[in-house]
Amino acid sequence: MKQLTAPRMDQCIGCHSCSLACARLIHQRISWSCAGIRIHSAGGLSTGFAAVHCLACDPAPCVAACPTGAFSQRRGGGVVVRKKLCIRCGQCVAACPVDAVCRNPDGEVFVCIHCGRCVAFCPQDCLELADMAGILEASR
């Protein structure tokens, strides 16, 4: 299974290209508030950026918190979201320990689906889609 990772955030310039790529390519929107990955600054304008995205919890607290079953566990970690089942209650947002589930002003939820489409849009090569099975095997 592959998961989005951000191993080189020290190179991030805060351009938000990854967020905009996610919003446009996955959600057909052009808004930072409609992306599964968001870039936050640790206080500066040119350094200290962090990528906020799903860390592929297994079991995922957002799945347990969802009262309608809109969030379901993805095999190997992470979640699948069925937006038609979502009642926009925000319980998934509150349950996420890393603030990876976000809501736009309309209450619609967005979370990284680990598709990797944002990776190619990072001009600084900060992101990658890593094969977690290979990493887990190598660490044993």
Same-domain pairing of 85 and 122: no
Task: Mark whether 1 and 49 lie in a shared domain.
Answer: yes
pLDDT digits (tens, 9 = 90+) for 5-22: 999 999 999 999 999 999
Domain with 98, as residue range(s), is 56-110
- Same structural domain, 49 and 61: no
- Domain total in the chain: 2
DSSP assignment of 77-131 equals SSEEE-GGG-----HHHHH-TTS--EE-TT--EE------TTGGG-TT---EEEE
What is the token pair recorded at 71?
Answer: 């969030």
Per the domain annotation, does 22 fall within a domain?
yes
Whether residue 68 contacts residue 87, with contact meaning beta carbons closer than 8 Å, is answered with yes
Residues 45 and 83 in one domain: no
- Asked whether residue 25 is domain-assigned, the answer is yes
Provide the whole-model pTM: 0.85
In a domain, 140, yes or no: no
> Percent of the chain beyond pLDDT 90?
78
Do 67 and 105 fall into the same domain?
Answer: yes
Whether residue 82 is found in the same domain as residue 116: no
Which pLDDT does position 134 carry in this prediction? 53
Tell me the pLDDT tens digit for each residue of 94-134: 999 999 999 998 999 999 999 999 999 999 999 999 987 75
Is the same domain home to 40 and 78?
no
Residue 138 lies in a domain: no
CATH code of the domain in which 34 resides = 3.30.70.20
Query: For residue 29, is pLDDT > 60?
Result: yes
- What does the block give as tokens for 55? 């860390």
- Does residue 106 sit in the same domain as residue 116? no
